[in-house]
């Protein structure tokens, strides 16, 4: 039975001041938002031209020229505004808010009489609206604009953007739907479904959620819409590479309820699963929830990297097959991990099962952070687990793999998506229901939470990625009744100690990964938790052919890797004995302050290959080596070099 | 100093009747040639349409319709005729010869007034002739037609085809060349260079070799011709994927003498290197020969698979970088290995160095034979060293890898190329100079060879791929003076015994891989050689990251592999101890009669993974397994399944 889902805590009630996370979160406001603003306005040399703001000016009739950029170019503005919203929701910034207001006003001026917004179609050919849902990205773009509008409204209380997008959403409701005469299509790139649900929550207008439901229910039913659409006279191909369209690419190969494996383009998939989860909850639709669980399991049990990334194929950024997880040519898009986190959060809210948060945490601490350099100015779109810069060559099978982060991208979804994720970390940290406060992530912060009819102030001090030491102080105001505290015990924690004010806590219950401490009544209670998070070796299921005979190093939520700068070149020639003591050391001056792991290994030498032969009946010669591992997400912050997560094991 | 090169022995003087090779060679005449004839005439259902003969009929004005197929579609006819020629050169077949004559006559009727032949341009738009050398493949196509014409003339003595192609070559000599007013371009796909040299040898007309030299000398000099060509008003793009052309792709990035690494499309590269070697010899050009040696070394010491295949990237079928040799996503085109063999043969002829033949043999016995099924009806274009059928999926990074041989291809270069190679195996088997007979390959045959002013009859009985036992009987006629015999001692032979008529032979000299037995004067001499060819493990240079910690099984010239049908699924989860006795067994009824190798290993089990977790702190659990390895080139003749060459080693 689907019950009332857990709620998140409004971002403005959470104040993060965490040594680990602040390094990244501060980049959003200080670096990413101003940097992207310059890009949106084509003010930066040496990076891809955006033309975004210019497109809106042209669409508004305030400038002349052609549309430039991708068909979904408008989403860069949307994601920027969404990230700005989260920043404004937690810290006042008059200049930034003015910039946002001006941009929103420009969007309003670029809106057509009937509510339509999309600079590509408005500038190029309004008659082609909705004629190519497969590739046109109109609904996808609308979705990101709606998300931004809702976020801006929630952060500032200002209604202009929300009303602009309501007008567009109203138009979309007129155009699409089950009724005769309406278009019976659905988005080529899912996104608007979850956005419409957010718009419903912000406005209370039920029709938005009904349209989201229509899009989800209609998808993959009967004759595939995209294949029908292609045959119409008004259809115009946009991307030649989609000439022979594979309906799996957009998860339209089957009705969503019948889908049991995660297929196609990974970002499309997870955005759709988010909406499915939302709808399952809103409509108490057990069948849809069951589909969500099946798809989640397929992803996280068979198609996910240890770093919480998904999408194994470099071509079409897509899922392939169960247990196919190559490490040096995968796509593993940053945005896909963000979508995975968004889906996992929803599933945890519905099921109160902390195991979903284990995956969310894995994605956030590893792949999402890997997506951005420590200076906030360069980004990984693709997140391999093994890189040899020499073979990351243009026009080869590894052309999608970059050995260094890039300054910007033509299709710039990942950087602003990282920005909005970092600016909204609070959404993952706590859940509440009527009488229980759920602590999901152990990030140093203070928060004010509504529970049991009053306010509870939570102060968390956490050193999770280093010692595992966490202190939680909860203070309830007089109006709050007794309440329960549910502490997530991460899956990687084998042992932990928790002390309350009066020593060891007893009588707690564990349920689905949460430790419930019931009936807190004191005004103030302090908990000291020591999670054991020693560095340790993990292995992959032997069905993962690429990882058989290999081991990876993890510590708490972090996956570690070897880098060439610490360990010399040719990392795949290193072999490690899993039966060894691992030495951990906090290095204050390295990569912003990290715990490194020191271990020993053996490296194949070329002693037997002095003649430069390529193959031969030669002995293995080894050299003992001391190795240093660093957190995966910090790799490539010290110049170009090799990187390796899965090390070969001495068997 | 470049001396007179070694000569090959005319194919008609070699009669192969080898248990190992006959299985394949007989396919050419019995299966491949009739099968391809049906395809050329669009008579087969369920395979790609060829339209080849129809194109020629349309070009001849004898049929109506449009050109269909690839821009180089004519080469399928050319390669068929070339293979037919080699067959006719060794065995009389009136019907086949009549078919060939009719086809040649049709080609003649499709020839334009001025000598031009190319159905694509003739049918589509003659005004576009020579305007797109980068993609048009006119010179490439002409090259294959010329090779076929020379082969047909050599086999049958008939001149019609040769004269047709001379007329076309004369036209090409008028169009291209250093003189003012001529086109200063060169082929986008090399091939005509080596063909023109063959035409020179057949006709004695020096201008053909001069044009070949011009094409080679001009390539990559100054402003790149292809990039200039693109800017001309008459230029019309044929392949959209070459919009941003990488000159390395066609080895036109540098003058050929300055090229030190094998770059770009592998087939283009090796065809060019063949012509470079030919020209180095004809012009006694030490600088060009030195470039050939450098490029050869780069290929075979740093960019070649153990199976003698080249071209590591699935995208653009190209070389990547030194030691980048992934096993499960490589291209390793069959045609590229054929080109490698053709190049190696020339280098051996110039240098009298048998080490080139070691590579030729590696390519022929492994990749070339892997290209064709044992029934001769299906083919591999791509030759990976590790295959897991589940992830060989369309529209993914592994879409070029096929888990089963294909019946035919849209771009059908490999099947007829295999046919012509099998039909002309004799070219690799012997070399001669004035007084020495060189035995390169140990294939059962009888041959008649001119040496020392007379005829020497050679009878070879060989069981090289099994016992290593070889018997050579040489009989000289009265007119022949004393002569020397040079027996190649393969690089994989560590020990061997050779007995002459009167027991052990003494006083032989070893030079560059050949054992010279000097001054044979007897009318008849018999040698019994026992090459030790035990199954053994070999390793790769540790710089090959993909093979570090792995071993491969070889026996004589053959690379072995594990197949799922013998060893169960998930071959990468198998680990092998290199310190073990290998058991060999000749299995008469398996795959046409092969020696299999039995060994033991350990397989990771899922005992610790009963919960279907993907990652975790679990123990390795192993199961002892007995393994059977079969020759690589025979894989996938027993249905779809996994295959693996490089096995993981227990270290």
Could you tell me if A498 and A541 lie in one domain? no
Per the structure, the complete domain to which residue B465 belongs is given by 433-531
- What is the average pLDDT value for chain A, to the nearest integer? 96
Q: Of the ranges B257-271, B293-307, B413-427, which one carries the lowest mean pLDDT score?
A: B413-427
Q: Single out the catalytic residue among A97, A191, A317, A564.
A: A317
Could you tell me if B507 and B566 lie in one domain? no
DSSP 3-state assignment of A124? Answer: helix
Beta bridge partners of B601: B576, B625
Quick check: A246 and B315 CB within 8 A? no
Distance from CA of A583 to the nearest CA of B (A): 18
Final residue before a domain boundary, out of A495, A515, A531? A531
* pLDDT band at A503; cut points 50, 70, 90: confident
Quick check: B395 and A316 CB within 8 A? yes
Q: Of the ranges A33-37, B62-66, B299-303, B412-416, which one carries the lowest mean pLDDT score?
A: B412-416
Contact A319, A303 (CB under 8 A): yes
Could you tell me if B508 and B593 lie in one domain? no
Could you tell me if A569 and A519 lie in one domain? no
Could you tell me if B591 and B524 lie in one domain? no
- Alpha-carbon distance values, B527 to B22, B469, B533 (Å): 23, 11, 18
Q: What value does the mean pLDDT take over residues A26-36?
A: 94
Could you tell me if B474 and B438 lie in one domain? yes
Chain B residues near residue A300 by CB distance under 8 angstroms: 614
Could you tell me if A549 and A595 lie in one domain? yes
**CA closest to A576 among chain B residues:** B651
**CA closest to A330 among chain B residues:** B397
Contact A85, A426 (CB under 8 A): no
Q: What is the DSSP letter of B304?
A: B
For residue A65, give every residue at least 6 positions away whose Cβ sits within 8 Å of its Cβ, in sequence order, or none: A54, A58
Could you tell me if A517 and A613 lie in one domain? no
Residues B207 and B172: their CA atoms lie apart, in Å, by 11
**CA closest to A553 among chain B residues:** B617
Question: Is A317 designated active site?
Answer: yes
Q: What is the DSSP letter of B414?
A: H
pLDDT in tens, B576-596: 999 999 999 999 999 999 999
Q: Of the ranges A14-28, A400-414, B32-46, which one carries the lowest mean pLDDT score?
A: A400-414
**Residue B553 within a domain:** yes
Residue A34 pLDDT more than 90?
yes
**Residue B552 within a domain:** yes
* pLDDT band at A409; cut points 50, 70, 90: low
Chain A residues near residue B650 by CB distance under 8 angstroms: 651
**Residue B460 within a domain:** yes
Quick check: A544 and B399 CB within 8 A? no
Distance from CA of B352 to the nearest CA of A (A): 20
Distance from CA of B539 to the nearest CA of A (A): 6
Q: What pLDDT, on the 0 to 100 scale, is given for residue B137? A: 96
Chain B residues near residue A306 by CB distance under 8 angstroms: 614-615
Residue A580 pLDDT more than 70?
yes
**CA closest to A323 among chain B residues:** B614
Q: What value does the mean pLDDT take over residues A170-187?
A: 97
Distance from CA of B396 to the nearest CA of A (A): 5
pLDDT in tens, A303-352: 999 999 999 999 999 999 999 999 999 999 999 999 999 999 999 999 99
Q: What value does the mean pLDDT take over residues B8-23?
A: 96
Contact B543, A606 (CB under 8 A): yes
Kindly tell me the sign of the dihedral angle through the C-alpha atoms of B171, B175, B176, B177.
Answer: positive
Q: Single out the catalytic residue among A52, A329, A392, A413.
A: A413
Chain A residues near residue B545 by CB distance under 8 angstroms: 388, 570-573
Indicate the residue of B324, B602, B620 with minimum beta-carbon distance to A391: B324
Chain B residues near residue A650 by CB distance under 8 angstroms: 651
Quick check: B306 and A572 CB within 8 A? no
Could you tell me if A585 and A620 lie in one domain? yes
* pLDDT band at A425; cut points 50, 70, 90: very high
A507 against B395, higher pLDDT: B395
Indicate the residue of A322, A395, A614 with minimum beta-carbon distance to B541: A614
Q: What value does the mean pLDDT take over residues A417-422?
A: 94
**CA closest to A612 among chain B residues:** B301
Distance from CA of A214 to the nearest CA of B (A): 29
Residues B360 and A143: their CA atoms lie apart, in Å, by 60
B506 against A578, higher pLDDT: A578
- Predicted TM-score (pTM) of the model is 0.96
Quick check: B542 and A605 CB within 8 A? yes
Query: CATH number of the domain that A468 lies in?
Result: 2.60.420
N-terminal to C-terminal alpha carbon distance within chain A: 48
**Residue A551 within a domain:** yes
Q: What value does the mean pLDDT take over residues A624-646?
A: 98
Final residue before a domain boundary, out of A503, A531, A559? A531
Q: What value does the mean pLDDT take over residues B349-360?
A: 98
Could you tell me if A635 and A542 lie in one domain? yes
Q: What pLDDT, on the 0 to 100 scale, is given for residue A410? A: 65
How many helices (DSSP H) and strands (DSSP E) are in chain A?
A: 20, 24
Q: Is the ipTM of this complex over 0.90?
A: yes
Residue A408 pLDDT more than 80?
no
**Number of structural domains chain A divides into:** 2
pLDDT in tens, B157-171: 999 999 999 999 999
Residue A47 pLDDT more than 80?
no
Indicate the residue of A249, A494, A604 with minimum beta-carbon distance to B542: A604
Q: What pLDDT, on the 0 to 100 scale, is given for residue B410? A: 66
Q: What pLDDT, on the 0 to 100 scale, is given for residue A4? A: 87
**Residue A304 within a domain:** no
* pLDDT band at B50; cut points 50, 70, 90: confident
- Alpha-carbon distance values, A466 to A24, A444, A552, A593 (Å): 17, 13, 18, 10
Q: What percent of chain B has pLDDT over 70?
A: 99
Chain A residues near residue B540 by CB distance under 8 angstroms: 614-615
**Residue A464 within a domain:** yes
Q: Of the ranges A627-636, B506-515, B548-557, B571-580, which one carries the lowest mean pLDDT score?
A: B506-515
Longest dimension (CA), chain B: 82
Q: What percent of chain A has pLDDT over 90?
A: 93
Chain B residues near residue A604 by CB distance under 8 angstroms: 542, 548-549
Final residue before a domain boundary, out of A480, A514, A531? A531
Indicate the residue of B398, B572, B616 with minimum beta-carbon distance to A538: B616
Residues B156 and B152: their CA atoms lie apart, in Å, by 6
- Alpha-carbon distance values, A324 to A328, A552, B471, B604, B641 (Å): 12, 17, 50, 17, 16
Residue A446 pLDDT more than 90?
yes
**Residue A503 within a domain:** yes
Q: What pLDDT, on the 0 to 100 scale, is given for residue A122? A: 97
**Residue B223 within a domain:** no
Residue B409 pLDDT more than 80?
no
Could you tell me if B609 and B641 lie in one domain? yes
Could you tell me if A453 and A542 lie in one domain? no
Residues B327 and B540: their CA atoms lie apart, in Å, by 12
Q: What pLDDT, on the 0 to 100 scale, is given for residue A411? A: 66
Distance from CA of A348 to the nearest CA of B (A): 19
């Amino acid at each position: 039975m689907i019950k009332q889902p857990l709620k998140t805590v409004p971002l403005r009630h959470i104040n993060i001041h965490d040594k680990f996370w602040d390094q990244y979160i501060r980049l959003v406001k200080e670096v990413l938002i101003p940097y992207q603003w310059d890009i949106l306005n084509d003010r930066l040399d040496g990076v891809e031209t955006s033309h975004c703001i210019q497109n809106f000016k042209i669409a508004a009739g305030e400038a002349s020229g052609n549309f430039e950029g991708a068909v979904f170019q408008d989403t860069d503005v949307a994601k920027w505004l969404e990230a700005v919203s989260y920043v404004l929701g937690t810290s006042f910034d008059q200049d930034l808010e003015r910039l946002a207001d001006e941009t929103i006003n420009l969007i309003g001026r670029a809106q057509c009489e009937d509510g339509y917004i999309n600079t590509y179609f408005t500038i190029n050919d309004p008659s082609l609206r909705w004629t190519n849902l497969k590739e046109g990205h109109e609904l996808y773009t609308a979705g990101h604009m709606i998300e931004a509008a809702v976020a801006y409204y929630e952060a500032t209380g200002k209604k202009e953007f929300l009303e602009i997008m309501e007008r567009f959403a109203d138009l979309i409701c007129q155009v699409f739907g089950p009724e005769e005469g309406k278009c019976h299509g659905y988005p080529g790139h899912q996104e608007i479904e979850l956005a419409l649900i957010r718009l419903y929550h912000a406005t209370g207008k039920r029709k938005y959620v009904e349209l989201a439901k229509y899009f989800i229910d209609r998808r993959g039913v009967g004759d595939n819409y995209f294949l029908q659409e292609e045959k119409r006279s008004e259809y115009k191909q946009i991307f030649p590479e989609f000439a022979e369209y594979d309906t799996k690419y957009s998860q339209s190969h089957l009705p969503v309820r019948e889908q049991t494996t995660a297929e196609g383009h990974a970002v499309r998939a997870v955005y759709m699963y988010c909406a499915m989860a939302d709808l399952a909850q809103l409509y108490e639709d057990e069948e849809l929830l069951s589909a969500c669980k099946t798809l989640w399991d397929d992803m996280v049990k068979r198609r996910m990297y240890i770093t919480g990334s998904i999408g194994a194929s470099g071509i079409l950024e897509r899922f392939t097959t169960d247990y196919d997880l190559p490490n040096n040519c995968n796509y593993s898009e940053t945005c896909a991990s963000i979508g995975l986190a968004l889906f996992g959060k929803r599933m945890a809210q519905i099921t109160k099962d902390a195991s979903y948060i284990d995956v969310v945490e894995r994605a956030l601490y590893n792949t999402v952070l890997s997506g951005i350099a420590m200076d906030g100015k360069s980004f990984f779109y693709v997140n391999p687990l093994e890189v040899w810069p020499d073979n990351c060559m243009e026009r080869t099978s590894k052309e999608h793999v970059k050995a260094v982060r890039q300054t910007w991208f033509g299709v710039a979804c990942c950087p602003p998506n990282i920005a909005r994720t970092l600016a909204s970390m609070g959404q993952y940290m706590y859940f509440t229901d009527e009488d229980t406060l759920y602590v999901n992530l152990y990030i140093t912060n203070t928060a004010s939470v509504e529970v049991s009819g009053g306010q509870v102030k939570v102060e968390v001090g956490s050193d999770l990625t280093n010692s595992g030491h966490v202190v939680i102080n909860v203070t309830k105001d007089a109006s709050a009744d007794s309440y329960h505290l549910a502490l997530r015990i991460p899956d990687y924690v084998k042992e932990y100690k928790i002390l309350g004010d009066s020593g060891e806590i007893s009588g707690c219950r564990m349920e689905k990964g949460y430790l419930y401490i019931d009936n807190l009544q004191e005004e103030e209670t302090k908990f000291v938790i020591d999670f054991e998070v020693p560095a340790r070796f993990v292995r992959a299921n032997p069905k993962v052919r690429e990882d058989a005979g290999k081991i990876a190093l993890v510590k708490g939520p972090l996956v570690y890797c070897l880098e060439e700068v610490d360990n010399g070149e040719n990392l795949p020639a290193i072999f490690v004995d899993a039966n060894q003591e691992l030495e951990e050391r906090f290095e204050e001056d390295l990569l912003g302050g990290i715990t490194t792991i020191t271990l020993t290994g053996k490296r194949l030498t070329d002693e037997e290959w002095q003649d430069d032969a390529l193959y031969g009946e030669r002995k293995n010669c080894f050299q003992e080596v001391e190795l240093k591992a660093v957190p995966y997400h910090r790799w490539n912050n010290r110049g170009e070099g090799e990187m390796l997560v899965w090390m070969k094991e001495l068997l």
